[in-house]
């Protein structure tokens, strides 16, 4: 009980720090209004063949919400969801909010310990999933799991008809009142997103309806979607970019969305984009590199905007995509703590290659000195701090960690960055991605960039491991089997990198693949573990 009160206090403090908002301004209430306006318009589809209009999406969400209200006790305020990016996964999220509960999309790629940690931290008793999905993903059943196949099979024809009639005939304001939990938007949790990032243990990031809505509104100003648009939804919902940009962004703007559960399946993604004439896609540079190699120009002909984030966009990857598809990759930046988008490049005057764009409308950014905390002038590198109505309420049950990342209301990103005269942001490194060697701080990203220029691809990771003589040494993992470690180091020595930054000959390892997280981003924690194992072997 004490922990739950702490969460509520944190959310209320976040509300007070930002806009007071409309008391009834909640994600699912906005969706009701949009569904009533676009009843017969295409809403969502996936590669399993499921396809729904806005009206059918609302009906399906209301049916599932009714069951959730009856199944979950009053004390069970959080419902787990373990489903891929799909029509079923989207419906489950809509339904949980319509039922007055908070959805937590569990990261099924994170392993048993991380999943169990999220379940225990949030006291999750009910988990919506699918028997087909569990079998396909080779996941074990967990206590509290409810199979959507079984659940939907128990819904009678009369229940479906009654719900459909109510959804269609009742005025929008009546439906909204029936599904308003009574909390102000600024006080209500929209989700708890668990993010271990790539280096730490799972922590729950509390995001309010106001957080998510403000991010969607800012994105909509820059990318005004209409009912003629369709988003290619390839990001998982347990990742905040998927939750905000490919789940709620289309549903609240009247656009359509087409889902595929595996963003690395380039063939299926190409067919998805072609079939649904997708105009907008959010992904990573790694995904887009695969699409350039395996998708045809005809398949991606409908795309107008492709936003990439989560990892640095290498110039060769951007150039190859642009040359093949005639579309610029728009590099952006964000973090789960910011719901998640902070900045993005925009076509026209808002595009500057090599940067992560300008901050979104309503979002502030500043670069400060690492030691003094004082703001730095343009083009000078320092610690990046950001703030805005999309800033999280805090970490679930971890007030100490919350205090660590808040500085006078600003979120401390942990990234080293610079802001130029035109307001464009450039990330140069992570604060945690350095090794101290010979008394000098060596940035991993600088070494990675030099290696990627040599190899012509984004296929390496640099990390630091313990060293008995120097305390720490650099290790390089790369995936180009046609380049010998000795040859790679030879070429690296010919660059302008300081000799101190170049690892020893025995510290270069060619591997089949770099460890990745569920969104395709390099898993830096597993990279370090693999580097230690290889060096010991």
pLDDT of residue 168: 95
Mean pLDDT of the residues in the chain: 88
The percent helix, strand, coil of the chain (3-state, each to 5) is 40, 25, 40
Among 204-213, 264-273, 348-357, name the one with the lowest average pLDDT.
348-357
pLDDT of residue 200: 52
pLDDT digits (tens, 9 = 90+) for 455-467: 887 788 999 888 7
Could you tell me which residue, 20 or 378, shows the higher pLDDT? 378
Is the pLDDT at 195 greater than 80? The verdict is no
pLDDT of residue 246: 96
Task: Kindly list the distances between the CA atom of residue 337 and the CA atoms of 159, 307, 350, 354, 460, in Å, as whole numbers in the listed order.
Answer: 40, 19, 24, 24, 27
Is the pLDDT at 25 greater than 60? The verdict is yes
Pairing of strands 460-467, 471-478: antiparallel
pLDDT digits (tens, 9 = 90+) for 496-533: 888 888 888 899 999 999 988 766 678 887 888 899 99
Is the pLDDT at 392 greater than 60? The verdict is yes
Q: What sign does the dihedral 446-449-454-458 (CA atoms) show?
A: positive
Is the pLDDT at 19 greater than 50? The verdict is no
Whether the CB-CB separation of 396 and 192 falls below 8 Å is answered with yes
- Listed residue (121, 46, 42, 60) closest to 96, CA to CA: 60
Q: How far apart are CA 316 and CA 313, in angstroms?
A: 9
Which three-class secondary structure state does DSSP give residue 42? strand
Q: How far apart are CA 87 and CA 83, in angstroms?
A: 10
Which domains, ranges and CATH numbers included, belong to the chain?
A: 27-182 (3.40.50.980), 433-536 (3.30.300.30)
Could you tell me which residue, 472 or 394, shows the higher pLDDT? 394
Q: Angle 485-493/444-455 helices, nearest 10 degrees? A: 110
Is the pLDDT at 15 greater than 60? The verdict is no
pLDDT of residue 24: 62
pLDDT of residue 375: 93
- Listed residue (333, 342, 331, 332) closest to 391, CA to CA: 342
Confidence of residue 469 (pLDDT cuts 50, 70, 90): low
């Amino acid at each position: 009980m004490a922990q739950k009160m702490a969460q509520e206090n944190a959310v209320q403090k976040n509300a007070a720090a930002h806009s007071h908002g409309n008391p009834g301004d909640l994600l699912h209430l906005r969706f009701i209004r949009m569904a009533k306006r676009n009843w017969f318009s295409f809403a969502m589809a996936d590669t399993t063949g499921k396809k729904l209009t806005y009206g059918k999406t609302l009906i399906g969400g209301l049916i599932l919400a009714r069951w959730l209200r009856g199944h979950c006790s009053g004390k069970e305020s959080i419902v787990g969801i373990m489903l891929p990016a799909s029509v079923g996964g989207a419906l489950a999220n809509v339904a949980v909010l319509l039922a007055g509960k908070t959805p937590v999309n569990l990261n099924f790629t994170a392993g048993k310990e991380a999943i169990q940690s999220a379940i225990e931290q949030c006291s999750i008793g009910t988990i919506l999933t699918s028997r087909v999905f569990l079998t396909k993903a080779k996941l074990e059943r967990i206590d509290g799991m409810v199979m959507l196949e079984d659940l939907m099979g128990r819904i009678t024809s009369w229940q479906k008809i009654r719900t459909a009639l109510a959804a269609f005939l009742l005025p929008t304001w009546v439906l909204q009142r029936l599904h308003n939990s009574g909390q102000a938007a600024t006080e209500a949790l929209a989700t708890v997103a668990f993010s271990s990032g790539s280096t730490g243990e799972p922590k729950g990031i509390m995001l309010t309806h106001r957080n998510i809505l403000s991010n969607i509104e800012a994105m909509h100003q820059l990318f005004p979607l209409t009912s003629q648009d369709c988003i290619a939804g390839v990001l998982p919902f347990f990742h905040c970019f998927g939750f905000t940009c490919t789940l709620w962004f289309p549903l609240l703007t009247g656009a359509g969305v087409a889902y595929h559960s595996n963003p690395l399946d380039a063939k299926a993604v190409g067919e998805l984009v072609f079939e649904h004439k997708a105009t907008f896609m959010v992904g990573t540079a790694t995904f887009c590199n695969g699409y350039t190699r395996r998708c045809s120009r005809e398949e991606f002909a409908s795309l107008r905007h492709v936003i990439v984030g989560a990892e640095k966009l290498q110039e060769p990857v951007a150039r190859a995509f642009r040359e093949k598809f005639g579309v610029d990759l728009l590099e952006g930046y964000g973090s789960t703590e910011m719901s998640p988008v902070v900045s993005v490049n925009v076509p026209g005057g808002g595009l500057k290659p090599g940067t992560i764009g300008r901050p979104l409308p309503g979002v502030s950014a500043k670069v400060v000195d690492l030691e003094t905390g004082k703001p730095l002038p343009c083009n000078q590198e320092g610690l990046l701090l950001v703030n805005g109505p999309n800033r999280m309420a805090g970490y679930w049950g971890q007030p100490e960690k919350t205090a660590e990342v808040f500085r006078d209301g600003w979120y401390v990103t942990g990234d080293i960055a610079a802001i130029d005269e035109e307001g464009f942001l450039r990330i140069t490194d992570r604060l945690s991605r350095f090794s101290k060697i010979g008394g000098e701080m060596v940035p991993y990203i600088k070494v990675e960039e030099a290696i990627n220029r040599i190899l012509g691809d984004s296929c390496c990771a640099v990390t630091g491991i313990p060293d008995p003589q120097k305390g720490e040494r650099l290790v390089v993992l790369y995936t180009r089997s046609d380049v010998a470690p000795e040859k790679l180091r030879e070429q690296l020595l010919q660059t302008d990198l300081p000799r101190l930054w170049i690892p020893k000959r025995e510290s270069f390892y060619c591997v089949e693949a770099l460890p990745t997280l569920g969104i395709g981003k390099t898993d830096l924690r597993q990279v370090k573990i693999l580097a230690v194992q290889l060096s010991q072997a």
